[in-house]
Amino acid sequence: MGSTERIRNVARRVAKWVKAGHQIVVVPSAMSGETNRLLALAAELEPAQRTDGIRRELDALAATGEQASSALLAIALQAEGLGSISFTGWQVPVRTDSSYTKARIESIDGENIRQQLQQGKVVIVTGFQGIDADHNITTLGRGGSDTSAVAIAAALQADECLIYTDVDGVYTTDPRVVANAKRLKSISFEEMLELASLGSKVLQIRSVEFAGKYRVPLRVLSSFTPWDIDLAEEARSGTLITFEEDEKMEKAVVSGIAFTRDEAKISVLGVPDTPGIAYQILGAVADANIEVDVIIQNLSKDGKTDLSFTVTRGDYERTLQLLQDKVVPKLGEGTKVVGNPNISKVSIVGIGMRSHSGVASTMFRTLSQENVNIQMITTSEIKTSVVIDEKYVELAVRSLHTAFGLDGDTRIEVPQRNG
C-alpha cells in the first residue's frame, strides 16, 4: 500500500479472487510510512508526560492512516468494475477495551459485512483499530492490522485468512540477518505462536492467538508477487500455519530462531526475601499496564535477594521511574533499582525439542564458543531464550542458525521495508 500504483495492484489481485468466485473481505494497513509520519507530528507537540488523554488523541490520529488506505482501495476496486465499500472499525463495529495505543478486541459484529457480501460487494475494513464502550477510537498496537484480519476472519467463519506481507512466508530466521535462511512451507501453530511472541516480525502475536483460538486457517504470502500470478499457484505459496503436527515437523529439532532488540533489563537489588515480595514489585508494574517478559530471582543471602526482569525498551524509563517513586521506598533501606536498556533476546523454537535432549546445551555451547555472555535464561517445552548484550545479537543468531542445521543452500533476496 506504498503508492497509488501498489493500491491499484492490490485491487487487481483482489479482483482476480472475486472473479474466481470468492467472497472477499480486505483488511489493509496504512500506506507505507504514514503511521510513522503522523506520530512524528504528534511527537513535536506532545507534552513531557504521556497521559491517557494524550494516548486517546494518538489513537484518533493514527487511525486515519488506515481510513485513507481503505477508501483509496475501495475507489481502486470500483475502477476495476467491482462493487466495493469501506468500513471503519466503529462502523463494523470492532469493539475493544480502552487500553489506548494497545487495545484488545472484545467482540466483532459481522452483520454489516455479511449484508454487503451478499450484495456482491468487496468489503474493506480498516485494520489496526476499533471502538471502546465510550465510543472512543482505539488502536491495537503496531502490526495490529494482522490481528484485525484474523479476528474478522474468525467472526465471519472464513474459509481462509491470507496475510500479505513484505516477505514470502515464515523463515528459519530473519533473512536480513542470515542471508541463507530458509522459507518454511509449513509451521505448527505452537511454533508460530512462540516465534511471534519472541520477536519474529512476520505476524503480530495476537493475530496468531486469534488464529489458534478460533482455528482460522492462516497463510503468509508475499505482497511483492505479481498480481496476475496463477491463482492456484498463489494459493499454494507462502507458509501455511497448521494445527496438525506431521512426521516432517517432528524431524526438525529446531524450526526457527527469533530475536528482538527491543528489550531492557531492570534489577531491583537488596529486596527483603519474604513472601509476596515479587507481587509487590511486579504487581505495581502490571497495574501500570507494562508487560514483563523474562523474570529471575536470585538465591537469598542474609535475608535479601535480587529480582531482575525485562520489559520493552519503550517502557524502560517509565518502569524505572515507577519503581523508584512508588515501590522502592516501601521496601526498606539498602534497596535500589538499576537497569540496562541495551540488551537483546535470542530464542530457539521447535516442537522437536519435546523429544530431543541436549538442545539447550548445544545453544549454550555455541554461544560460549563465540564468547557471548548469557545474562538471563528462560525455557518452555518448545523454546529456549537467552538475554544477551545487544551488540552480539547478530553474531548469536548466525552461529545458532548454523549450529542447528538451518542454513540453506542459496542466498535469499528480500525486499527492504519502506516505512
Would you list which residues are annotated within the binding site? 35, 66, 165-166, 171, 176, 201-202
206 exposed, middle or buried (CB, 10 Å; 0-12, 13-18, 19+)? buried
Sheet containing 186-188, strands listed edge to edge, beginning at the edge strand earlier in sequence: 161-165, 218-222, 239-242, 186-188
Report the greatest alpha carbon distance in the chain.
77
Here the cell at position 119 is 450484495
- The DSSP-derived string for 70-122 is HHHHHHHHHHTT--EEEE-GGGTTEEE-S-TTS--EEEE--HHHHHHHHTTPE
Which one, of 213, 205, 70, lies nearest residue 129 by Cα?
70
- List binding-site positions for ATP: 165-166, 171, 176, 201-202
Binding annotation for substrate? 35, 66
**CA angle, residues 288, 290, 291, in degrees to nearest 5:** 145
DSSP 347-390: EEE-GGGGS-SSHHHHHHHHHHHTTPPP-EEEEETTEEEEEEEG
Give the three cell numbers for residue 72.
483509496
Cβ neighbors of 143 (< 8 A, separation 6 or more) are 201, 203, 204, 207
Q: In angstroms, rounded to a whole number, what is the distance separating the alpha carbons of residues 184 and 168?
A: 10
Number of helical H runs and strand E runs in the chain? 13, 19
**Secondary structure of residue 238 in the 3-state scheme:** coil
Q: At what angle do helices 144-156 and 205-214 cross, to 10 degrees?
A: 10
Peptide bond into 226 cis (omega under 30): no
For the chain, how many residues are written?
419
